[in-house]
Every structure is written in C-alpha cells, then in structure tokens.
Structure 1
Amino acid sequence: MKVACLTGGGDCPGLNAVIRGLVRTVANHGGETIGLLEGWRGAIEGNFIPLDPMQTDEILPLGGTILGSSRTNPYKNEGLVQKIVDTFHSLKLDALVAIGGDDTLGVASKLYRDYKLPTIGCPKTIDNDLSATDFTFGFDTCLNTVMDAVDKLRTTAESHRRVMVVEVMGRHAGWITCFAGIACAADAIMVPEEEVDMAKICETLKARRAAGKKYGMVLVSEGAQLKGQDFITKDAEKDDFGHIKLGGIGTRVAKIIEKETGIETRDVTLGHLQRGGSPSAYDRVLGTRLGIHAGRLAIKKDWGKMVALRGLHIVAVPLAEAVGTMRTLYPEFLDEAGEFLK
C-alpha cells in the first residue's frame, strides 16, 4: 500500500506526531508513505517527499509540520481539483490522509464524494472547534502558551496598576478564551458565543478595583462581537476559503475600558505565538494515537472517514458528518467560568 499525507491550513503543535504515527503504522503493515508538501498545493503540483519510520522517528517534539502548509482551496477552480486526481493516479497512491481543520477536511470530504478518491481525515485545530471529536491536538499546547503569557503579563499589570487586555485566537468559538480565562483567573472573558456587554465588564473591573484589586486581566477572542457592532477586522481581504482576517478587537476593548473606567489599560495580541512551540505531552500522545488510527483505516481501506477522540477512545466517523458545522463552546463551561466573573 502507498499512502500520501498532507497538512493544510494553520499549523499547530502535534502535526508531526500524527505524521510519525501514520508512517510507523503503514510501515508496520508493509506499506510506504509519502508527504505532499504545503497542503493541497502539494497535491495539485505533485510535490512530495518520501517518509519512513527512521526519518520521522525524531520529529515528535517538533512544533509545526515538516511537510509545510498552506490555505490552498482547490475547489476555487475546477481544474485544480482534477490536478489532485491526476497526482493521485500518477503517484500510484492507494490512500490520501488529510490532516487539517474544517476547510482542509472539507476538501477531503468532497474529493471522496465527487471522485470516490480514497481519503481519510485527521482533525487539527488549536481552536478546538471541530465537530465529531471531543478535543483536537494543538489545543492543549495553545492553552499552556496563553497561560504562560498571561502569567507574565500579570506581573507587569500589577506593578503599573493597569488592566491588560489579551486578544487570543478563536474565530467562531471561544474554547481558548474560556479555558485560558479559567486557568489564568481572568476578570473577564469575551467569546464569540455571547455578544459582549462592555458596560457590564467595565462595572466589574471598577468594582474589583474598589475592593482592592490592583490590576485587571481581560481575555477576548478575536471573533467576539461587541454589542451593536460588527466583527472587527484587520482588512477586507479574504483567504482562499472566504474567511475575513480578524484582529484588532483587543485594541478596541482596551480603549473602551480606559475611557469608561479611568484605569490605565494596555492590550496585547498573542497572534501566531499561540500556534508555535513544542507540543505538550497530551498533544504528543493524542496526535500519535490519531496518526496510528488513520493508518489503520488506510490498511482496512475504510475510506471517507475521519479519526476522532470520543471520551478516551479513537473512533472513525464519516467525513461528511465531521465537517461544515463548527462546534461552539458548550454553555456549561461559560456557566462555570461565570462564577468568577461576577
């Protein structure tokens, strides 16, 4: 069996763990694996590198992806989709494992639906917003990165008696903001699931200052919306999948807080820092397990499926059911966080 894999969309810690687990499993069953470079771009252009167990054995602690990535959308042009099909046949492939988020897996699902291309999906996103899986690798490492940054910001905030507003990733869902907010004892969190009431947040910050707290810590998702306002964006340009470039809400929120409370306020955008670094132990294990089970699906020729974490078990779910619907933050987590935000 000859299996190709690719990593598409935003990178995250744990991608190399998946590649390593996949390569080892396929090799254990007498097959070979190649890596298509830079996501769907590599599948279109036929650019690849061979992958073997010894070559990938030491990539486990590396962040990012050894295959490179891109936000290439082949379905923007019908001719590009045909090139992927041609690449598949010219390389004499038996299976294609796509490792990515909703956009990358959406392409894999369509290729299976439209061309019966034997595809398998592996869910990846630091946002933890993919349906059909309980958690995605990269999320845990991202949380630890945010927590470390906020812990450092807390010391300077307290020294200068300031409020610090920290903008984190989260286009459609507030998993990062909510979990990091709980882990960092934030005074306020702002998530896409709830319209932000700045008046209430400012009152909370003033009340805590009056009670003797010398600083404030506010976490806001890039995709949060202020009451009565549209999404705050960097510019109107969209990527290949039609997503606008979010960013700037942290600065807007900081200005409002300083104006309404009279407390000196600064903002920090963590940005791509959240995607980087060596994966945590949890993400190394989860990524490895998902790679192993993706390889086993390929060996069994169980196409059109995505590997997913359900409880403590890795299961296979139909790709078509796993994409297209973002998994937003469960209300119970907001309710629990709310005990510390009153």
Structure 2
Amino acid sequence: MGTLNLSFQIQTLYMSPSSPSFNTFTISLTTNRKKSNCSRFSLSMGNPNDTHTKLVPGAAGFLLQDVPHFTDYLDHLPIVVHKESARGVHFRRAGPRQKVYFKSDDVNACIVTCGGLCPGLNTVIREIVCGLYHMYGVRKVLGIDGGYRGFYAKNTITLTPKFVDDIHKRGGTILGTSRGGHDSVKIVDRIQDRGINQVYIIGGDGTHKGAAVIFEEIRRRGLKVAVAGIPKTIDNDIPVIDKSFGFDTVVEEAQRAIKAAHVESESMGNGIGLVKLMGRYCGFIAMYATLASRDVDCCLIPESPFYLEGKGGLYEYIGKRLKQNGHMVIVIAEGAGQELLSKSLQSVDQQDASGNKLLQDVGLWISHKIKEHFAKKRMPINLKYIDPTYMIRAIPSIASDNVYCTLLAHGAVHGAMAGYTGFTVGPVNGRHAYIPFNRIIEKQNKVVITDRMWARLLSSTNQPSFLKPRDIAEAKKEKYPANGILDGKIVKTMSMN
C-alpha cells in the first residue's frame, strides 16, 4: 500500500458584472492506493456524507458538484459554475481527457431512448455511435429497442456508422421508446449478462430518475459500468442546463401553426385564432414561440395564473382587442388554466406511466368558454382552434439543434471513456459540463414571471399580466439561481511515499 499526495494550484477567473478578478489557491489531497479487483471499483468523492459535493478550501474556495469516477484521477480541464451562492456551485467541464479509462477493444456500449419524442433524438444516437467509432475505435455498440423495457427483451440493434448514417434526417427515434417499465434490478441483470460496460441513456427527468437508480444498483454490485445521460425534454424544463435539445426546432415549427391561426383570424370579422402548444408545467415553448412570431396578442402559460371574468380578465381583454383590431391570436400552453378547469369540470387525478399528471384539454375548454361568453354578449365571433401538439415534435431537428446534439453526444462519449459515471451532460452558461444525476432530477425549470423575458413578452403582446398584487408578491418570494462563469487552469504535482 502506498500514499499518494496530490497538490493542485488553481488560478480562477470570476467574471463579475463590474470587473474580472483573479484568485490563486492550493488544494492538497492525500489518498491511499492499493491493488483493486479488476471486476470491481470504488468511488472516491470527498465528503462521505455526500457522494456528489466537494468543498474546495482556500480564500477563494468553492463548492464542486463532482461526478463519480472509477479511479482517484482528477483532470486538468476548467470548471463551470452555476451560481447559487456567493461563489457558485461548480461542475466538471465536459470534453476529452488526457487519460482514457476504457480500452477500445474492451468497450461494449449500449444506447437507450425513453419518454416522449423530441427532435434531435436520432442525431444524438448517430453522434454517440460515430463518436465511439471514429474518436475511440469502439466497434461494439448496441441499441436497446423500446426504452427501458427493451432491456428485458432479447431484441437489440447493432449500431454502426453505416447503419446510422442518415437517421438524423428522420423524426422520432430509430430505437423506439416507452414510458415506465423500470425495474433497476432486472435492467442491471441484463447489462451484466450482456457484458455491457457503457450505458448511454437519453431522456427527461423521469428517465434520469431511473438512470440514477440504475447507477446506484451498478455501484452497489461494484460493476465497472459507466452510466451517462443526455437530457431530453420537449418543454425545456430540465434545471441547471441552459437549454434542452430540440427546443429550437419545436419553437420554429410552432410558427407554422401560429401563422395559420393569424391568417384565419384576420380573414374574418372578429376572428380569433387559438393555438395550443406543449408545456405541461412550464410555458417556455409558448413564450418563445410568441416572441418569435410577433403575431400573437395573448400568451397563457402555467406559471402565470389568469382569470376569465371581471375587470382585467381575459374576456375583457379579448373584447377590447377585437374592437381595436378586428382579430386576435391567442397561444396557450397545455398546462395553463388547469385550476380553472378543475373548478368548472369534474376532474379525476390520473397519471401516465412516467408519473406525469394527465391534463384536461385546456384548448377545447377555453375555446368553448370564449364562444359561450360572447354569445351571451350577443357579439358574434369566429374562433378557429389549432392543436399542433404532436406535429411539432415528430420532425427532424433544424441545423442549430443538430450541432447542439453533436456536442451533447460527444461530451457523453468523452466522459464515459474517461471513466466518469453517474452524470449527465449539458451546457451551463454556454459551457458544457458533467452534472451529477441528482442535480437534474431535484426540481423543474420554469418561466420566471418576474424576470425580463416574461416582461419582454408582455411588451410584445401588450396583454395584461392577469396578476393580482398578491400573485406578484408570491412570485418575488421564489428564489431562482443567478449565473456566473468560473474558468480555471489546474496544475498538478504528484509524489508517491
């Protein structure tokens, strides 16, 4: 047994709003090295009470949200910060490492896609395969058919660069997908039986919860299996990361529905075009599609409550807008106004296989309520309801998303090949980082209605906020993380006693 002393000198650059400042500090680590069983591994993560958090000491100390590694090797690359405190919360920078943990000939990788469809899924699959083949010489890559449930079946797809060459031109996923069906013990049994040592999981928060359980089961058994996630959500509601892949494509495709609604509404007297877009718990798609369109007069999202009747209500605004302009376009997210539906309709709480609450169709409901209200007012209207919900997600990704998917896939490949595990990859303040699973699944990202982006939307549509003073006060109480950038150059010295 030998003692390994590690000394790090880090010079950090913190970009503050006023001026950049440099700090230099030293980290000293001492670890014990001993021969390890080649079929098992141990993870050294600093604080034994928290397998993800490391407190880096010093005058400019910071909190590092690290990801597990098969050895005690620490890399030279910079650190990315997601600021939630004075010094921020930091993550390992994604990218290739000087040391590769897995030998190319020993790698047996698999890829699985779970949850709902999203533009760019096939691009991610393609780039994982091509990244493994062309950058690391890996020749054994399997596709798991049908989501997590595919692990139970014997049906797998052998993936090669030739097989995936043009799949990015198609929507959906060539591997198929499903919700639920997660039994971590059975899945890890199949992983172990097939000799798989790299698992790439593409999915949203529910999928990442499953990935975290799979990772813990793999760690409990002491298997040398790297588990890497690629975050996927059509709603852009995954926290920490700047944006989810496919979001730009969905916003672009939503423009077609909004344009159609605008044409329909302006072609008739008192025309109303109503478009329902995806957004179960957050309204990012509706908000960005509205801002991009400039044809929308009112945008309704789950984060911003609204009411129908009375002064300052939706009915009053619609009436004023029709008198002023003769037509209007309304965009509503599928999760908006659910509390109003619950009051007017007898609702039963039901969930899908992923545990998501099944929502009632707010588009049909609000179109009926608008027609009913103006019929009572003896004011004729022509309302056209457009629901492109599944059309906007079942298409190939646009150019910007294709590039983004490539970066995500390559980041996951570099991390797994370097020996990292239990992580997902994504951009934090524009820089790709390795993020522990627990940070991705701890909460959901939502539109901040007291933030500037929502204020920009209100300015664009000229709609009322529909908020009462009490709602604004409650919104201001919620804490949302600020962002900053920390870069660092790590110089390492090593001595064996």
Supply the RMSD in Å over aligned alpha carbons.
2.0
Question: Whole-Å Cα distance in 2 between the matches of residues 304 and 227 of structure 1?
Answer: 37
Could you say if the C-alpha distance between residues 120 and 4 of structure 1 is closer, same or farther in structure 2, counting changes exceeding 3 Å?
A: same
Say whether residues 1:323 and 2:459 are aligned partners. Answer: no
Say whether residues 1:91 and 2:91 are aligned partners. Answer: no
Contact 2:274/2:384, CA 8 A, preserved across alignment: yes
1:110 corresponds to? 213
Q: What are the residue-to-residue correspondences of 1:1-342 with 2, within 5 Å?
A: 1-27=107-133, 28-31=135-138, 32-74=140-182, 80-116=183-219, 118-161=226-269, 162-185=271-294, 186-199=296-309, 200-211=313-324, 213-225=325-337, 228-230=340-342, 237-261=350-374, 262=379, 263-331=381-449, 332=451, 333-339=453-459, 340-342=461-463
Alpha-carbon deviations, 1:81-111, whole Å to 9, x = none?
2220111011111111110111111100111
Give, in angstroms, the shift of residue 214 of structure 1.
Answer: 2.2
Give, in angstroms, the shift of residue 282 of structure 1.
Answer: 1.1
Give, in angstroms, the shift of residue 312 of structure 1.
Answer: 2.8
Where 1:316 maps in the other structure, the secondary structure is strand
Where 2:152 maps in the other structure, the secondary structure is helix
Give, in angstroms, the shift of residue 250 of structure 1.
Answer: 0.7
One-letter identity of the residue aligned with 2:239: S
Contact 1:234/1:245, CA 8 A, preserved across alignment: no
Give, in angstroms, the shift of residue 30 of structure 1.
Answer: 2.1
One-letter identity of the residue aligned with 1:334: W
Count of aligned positions: 336
Where 2:179 maps in the other structure, the secondary structure is coil
Where 2:392 maps in the other structure, the secondary structure is helix
1:77 corresponds to? none
Alpha-carbon deviations, 1:62-93, whole Å to 9, x = none?
2111111111231xxxxx32220111011111
Contact 1:73/1:107, CA 8 A, preserved across alignment: no
Contact 2:261/2:274, CA 8 A, preserved across alignment: no
2:101 corresponds to? none
Question: Whole-Å Cα distance in 2 between the matches of residues 279 and 329 of structure 1?
Answer: 23
Question: Whole-Å Cα distance in 2 between the matches of residues 235 and 152 of structure 1?
Answer: 34
One-letter identity of the residue aligned with 1:322: I
Any gaps of 5 or more consecutive residues in structure 1? 75-79
Q: TM-score, normalised by structure 1?
A: 0.92
Any gaps of 5 or more consecutive residues in structure 2? 1-106, 220-224, 464-497
Give, in angstroms, the shift of residue 227 of structure 1.
Answer: 5.8
Contact 1:123/1:306, CA 8 A, preserved across alignment: yes
Q: TM-score, normalised by structure 2?
A: 0.64
> Greater Rg, structure 1 or structure 2?
2
Could you say if the C-alpha distance between residues 141 and 234 of structure 1 is closer, same or farther in structure 2, counting changes exceeding 3 Å?
A: farther
Question: Whole-Å Cα distance in 2 between the matches of residues 285 and 122 of structure 1?
Answer: 14
Alpha-carbon deviations, 1:229-282, whole Å to 9, x = none?
439899754222222322410111112222334333232222211211121111
More helix by share: 1
Contact 2:242/2:430, CA 8 A, preserved across alignment: no
Mean CA deviation greater in 289-298 or 268-277: 268-277
